[in-house]
């Protein structure tokens, strides 16, 4: 539900076709250094274009998953009808098979929503937060965030409650925590060997 709410808030999901552009405009205005600056107009235009790309890819993939789910469900139903000629098949058995198929495809959709949310957060960080005065995190804040990341390396996606706790302990915003983890995951994947050494270091510190 939280993923859905975030996608709607960012204008990626929702019934309105112009949602992406509207959300981009609102976010751009909030991060703007002031009206009447041509460079801001160009930057916000780029942001809206890239957000529209994310929205388009998201809906294309969502349509593919829904179509595949329907086709696979139809295929299984046909197989069950064929089998019903040789053995009795109850409606409950058919319903259970359909539920299993839908659960599988729903889990795939959750992964799509999660990756789309991450893409939006990274986009916001690059295009909007750049307009604000940058402040480096304190050494203590970086230590806290890294400690959490490497302690949850198998699933480095903190819950909303965990983000709020980390934001409080680091004296930063929840949005900054989300951006930090999004960027950290990308850097980790790109520099897996170096990151693994860093993870071992943090594990050794924790053990000590």
pLDDT by residue, tens only, the chain of 208 residues: 567 776 776 667 765 444 444 444 544 444 444 444 444 454 567 777 888 888 888 888 888 888 888 888 888 888 888 888 888 888 888 888 888 888 888 888 888 888 888 888 787 777 655 555 445 688 899 999 989 998 888 888 999 999 999 999 999 999 999 999 998 888 887 777 666 677 777 777 766 6
User: Please, what's the b/e burial string for 13-29 (b: 16 or more CB within 10 A of its CB; e: otherwise)?
Assistant: bbeeeebbbebbbebbe
| Sign of the alpha-carbon dihedral angle for 13, 17, 20, 22 | negative
Say how far apart CA 10 and CA 22 lie, in whole Å.
9
pLDDT digits (tens, 9 = 90+) for 87-102: 888 888 888 888 888 8
Task: Indicate the pTM of the whole model.
Answer: 0.44
To which residue do tokens 């780029």 refer? 46
């Amino acid at each position: 539900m939280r993923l859905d709410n975030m996608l709607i808030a960012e204008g990626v999901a929702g019934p309105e076709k112009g949602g992406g552009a509207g959300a981009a405009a609102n976010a751009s205005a909030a991060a703007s250094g002031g009206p009447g600056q041509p460079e801001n107009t160009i930057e916000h235009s780029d942001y809206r274009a890239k957000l529209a790309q994310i929205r388009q890819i998201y809906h294309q993939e969502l349509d593919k998953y829904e179509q595949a789910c329907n086709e696979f469900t139809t295929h299984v139903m046909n197989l069950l009808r064929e089998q019903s000629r040789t053995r009795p098949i109850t409606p409950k058995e058919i319903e259970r098979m359909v539920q299993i198929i839908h659960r599988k495809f729903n889990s795939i959709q959750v992964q799509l929503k999660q990756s789309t949310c991450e893409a939006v957060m990274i986009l916001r960080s690059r295009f909007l937060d750049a307009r604000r005065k940058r402040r480096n995190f304190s050494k203590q804040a970086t230590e806290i965030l890294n400690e959490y990341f490497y302690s949850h390396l198998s699933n480095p996606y903190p819950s909303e409650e965990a983000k709020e706790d980390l934001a409080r302990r680091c004296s930063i915003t929840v949005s900054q925590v989300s951006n930090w983890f999004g960027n950290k995951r990308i850097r980790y994947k790109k520099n897996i060997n170096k990151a693994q050494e860093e993870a071992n270091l943090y594990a050794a510190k924790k053990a000590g």
